[in-house]
């Protein structure tokens, strides 16, 4: 597959630029030299002899197989089901990066998300039926200028300080490390989603349109942005909770910075890894924010509307610690984050990943506040504490690495009368470094009674994920 991509890319470049294919192929082979014997490498084509102009490609996919314990009153494709088995494409991405000049670069990411047998496409039956033809769209599309580059263009030596300025549809987010998370280097089977505070509301799959700066001040890594949120216009009910309504059109502001005590991370893209198999000693402390004035609205009484500022704060710690003898390649990965969300009075958001369920109209038992399928209380006005830990087992194979992990989230939502405890437990099976991963994971979620706002039941979900990154 990789060879075919190289050949295809070279042919495209030859047709566009009229360059010598043999010369480009030579550059591609040099650029993809593997630093780690277990890593497949990267597809990078140098466009000049200095190596400061290049074109890079990346492909990733995550395929999910699941067994879901549905919430009460769930129907799937019109049939009542307590348990559902499904398969889906969680993510399928293509990334194109280009260093156009030593100072100027372009980043594009395209792909699809969340396609299953019943979701991700059209509705009904036939050629455009349920689940079919999931939309392919741009996730990221931005240009970036190196004001102060990481490495001096003349000497090639690292600069102590660097600064980059960019604009477009981007994911240089604020709040936390997890809000800027890489989806190809996650510790667990997936991200908890509440790490993206405006996901698919005032953003496009955790991206907004705007300008951003990022860089380093010695050991402080930072990113800040000013954006135009995507428009929302939900109408609140009388005496009900705040809903997303930013019709006044105010800008949003976001920022995140972290201090690096040990090894420093290179942030050439916005995505911060949650798992590097503890190859290097890392300890980072970070904090961030997101704010958008008049971004939600409530209706305390008939025809009296109130606007509310949305503000989110986050503070986190991330560490990776190699343990034991070096040849054992053991290591501990730990991440913990605290979020404070303010979306307005009693704001509550409910969601379920690749939710296959719809309402069973004949169900007469006790229903959950979360609704049907695998819906859960995602986030809302209140606090969330989330922690995860993983441990790479001692080396026993030249090909396979095993890493058990555990996630825990404690959600304290103002609209509910009892805290929610959410668990994930599983293991990663890595083949050839982090290019190929199989995940086995079990998740447990609470269900709330609508009237009392307290937990009355729990449901689970088993996931088997297959991930490839090239």
For the ranges 13-22, 273-282, 326-335, 452-461, which has the lowest average pLDDT? 13-22
Residue 405: pLDDT above 60?
yes
pLDDT digits (tens, 9 = 90+) for 138-150: 999 999 999 999 9
- Short-list 319, 346, 344, 347, CA closest to 333: 319
For tokens 């609508």, the residue is 450
pLDDT digits (tens, 9 = 90+) for 45-68: 999 888 889 999 999 999 999 999
pLDDT of residue 36: 54
Please state the separation of Cα 95 from the chain's center in Å.
15
Mode of pairing for the β-strands spanning 348-351 and 376-380: antiparallel
Please state the separation of Cα 5 from the chain's center in Å.
26
Q: Which residues contact 116 (CB under 8 A, 6 or more apart)?
A: 86, 87, 88, 89, 131, 354, 356
pLDDT of residue 420: 98
| Average pLDDT score over residue span 416-423 | 98
- Short-list 341, 304, 371, CA closest to 73: 371
- Short-list 155, 66, 140, 76, CA closest to 108: 140
| Average pLDDT score over residue span 117-125 | 84
pLDDT digits (tens, 9 = 90+) for 256-274: 999 999 999 999 999 999 9
Q: How confident is the model at residue 411 (pLDDT cuts 50, 70, 90)?
A: very high
Reading the block at residue 239, the tokens are 């005496």
| Average pLDDT score over residue span 200-212 | 97
Assign 3-class secondary structure to the chain: CHHHHHHHHHHHHHHHHCCCHHHHHHHHHHHCCCCCCCCCCCEEEECCCCCCCEEEEEEEEEEEEEEEECCCCEEECCEECCEEEEEEEEEEEEEEEEECCCCEEEEEEEEEEEEECCCCCECCCCCCCECCCCCCEEEEEEEEEEEECCECCCCCCECCEEEEEEEEEECCCCCCCHHHECCCCCCCCCCCCCCCCCCCCCCECCEEEEEEEEEEECCEEEEEEEEECCCCECCCCECCCCEEECCCCCCEEEEEEEEECCCCCCCCCCCECCCCCCCCCEEEEEEEEEEEEEEEEEEEECCEEEEEEEEEEEEEEEEEEEECCHHHCEEEEEEEEEEEEECCCCCEEEECCCCCCEECCCCCCCCECCCCCCCEEEEECEEEEEEEEEEECCCCCCCEEEEEEEEEEEEEECCCCCCEEEEEEEEEEEECCCCEEEEEEEEEEEEEECCCCCEEEEEEEEEEEEEEEC
Cβ–Cβ under 8 Å, residues 177 and 316 = yes
Domains of the chain: 60-469 (2.40.160.10)
Cβ–Cβ under 8 Å, residues 114 and 107 = no
| Average pLDDT score over residue span 439-452 | 98
Cβ–Cβ under 8 Å, residues 455 and 447 = yes
For tokens 């989603």, the residue is 193
Cβ–Cβ under 8 Å, residues 214 and 223 = yes
pLDDT digits (tens, 9 = 90+) for 333-383: 999 999 999 999 999 999 999 999 999 999 999 999 999 999 999 999 999
| Average pLDDT score over residue span 417-427 | 98
Reading the block at residue 159, the tokens are 């600069």
Q: Indicate the average pLDDT of the chain.
A: 91
The CA distance from 322 to 112, in Å, is 35
CA atoms within 13 A on the CB side of 250: 15
pTM of the predicted structure, to 2 decimals: 0.90
Task: Give me the phi and psi of 127, to 5 degrees please.
Answer: -60, -30
């Amino acid at each position: 597959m990789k060879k075919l991509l190289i050949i295809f890319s070279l042919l495209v470049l030859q047709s566009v630029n009229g360059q010598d294919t043999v010369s480009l192929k030579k550059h591609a082979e040099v650029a993809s030299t593997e630093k780690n014997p277990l890593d497949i490498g990267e597809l990078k084509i140098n466009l000049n002899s200095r190596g400061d102009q290049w074109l890079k490609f990346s492909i990733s996919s995550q395929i999910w197989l699941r067994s879901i314990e549905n919430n009460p009153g769930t129907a799937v494709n019109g049939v009542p089901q307590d348990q559902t088995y499904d398969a889906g494409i969680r993510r399928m991405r293509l990334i194109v990066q280009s260093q156009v000049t030593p100072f100027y670069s372009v980043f594009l990411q395209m792909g699809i998300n969340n396609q299953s047998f019943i979701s991700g496409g059209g509705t009904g039956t036939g050629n455009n039926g349920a689940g079919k033809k999931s939309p392919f769209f741009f996730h990221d599309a931005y240009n970036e200028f190196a004001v102060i580059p990481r490495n001096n263009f003349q000497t090639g030596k690292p600069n102590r300080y660097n600064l980059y300025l960019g604009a477009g549809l981007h994911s240089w987010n604020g709040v936390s490390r997890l809000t800027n998370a890489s989806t190809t280097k996650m510790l667990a089977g997936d991200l908890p989603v509440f790490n993206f505070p405006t996901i698919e509301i005032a953003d496009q799959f955790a991206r907004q349109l705007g300008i951003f700066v990022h860089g380093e001040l010695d050991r402080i890594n930072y990113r800040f942005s000013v954006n135009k949120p995507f428009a929302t216009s939900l109408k609140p009910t009388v005496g009900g909770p705040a809903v997303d309504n930013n019709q006044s059109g105010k800008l949003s502001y976001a920022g995140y910075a972290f201090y690096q005590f040990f090894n420093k991370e290179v942030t050439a893209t916005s995505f911060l890894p949650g798992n590097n198999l503890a190859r290097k000693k890392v300890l980072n402390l970070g904090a961030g924010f997101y704010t958008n004035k008049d971004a939600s609205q409530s209706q305390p009484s008939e025809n009296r509307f109130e606007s509310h500022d949305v503000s989110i704060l986050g503070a986190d710690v991330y560490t990776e610690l190699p343990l034991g003898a070096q040849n054992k390649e053991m290591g501990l990965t730990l991440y913990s984050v605290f979020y404070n969300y303010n979306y307005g009075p009693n704001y509550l958001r409910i969601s379920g990943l690749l939710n296959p369920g719809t309402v069973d109209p004949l169900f007469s038992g006790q229903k959950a506040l979360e609704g049907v399928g695998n819906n859960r209380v995602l986030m809302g006005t209140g606090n969330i504490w989330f922690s995860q830990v993983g441990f790479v087992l001692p080396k026993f194979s030249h090909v396979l690495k095993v890493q058990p992990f555990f996630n825990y989230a404690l959600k304290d939502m103002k609209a509910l009368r009892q805290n929610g405890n959410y668990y994930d437990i599983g293991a990663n099976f890595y083949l050839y470094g982090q290019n190929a991963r199989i995940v086995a994971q079990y998740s447990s979620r609470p269900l709330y009674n609508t009237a009392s706002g307290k937990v009355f039941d729990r449901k689970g979900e088993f996931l088997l994920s297959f991930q490839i990154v090239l």
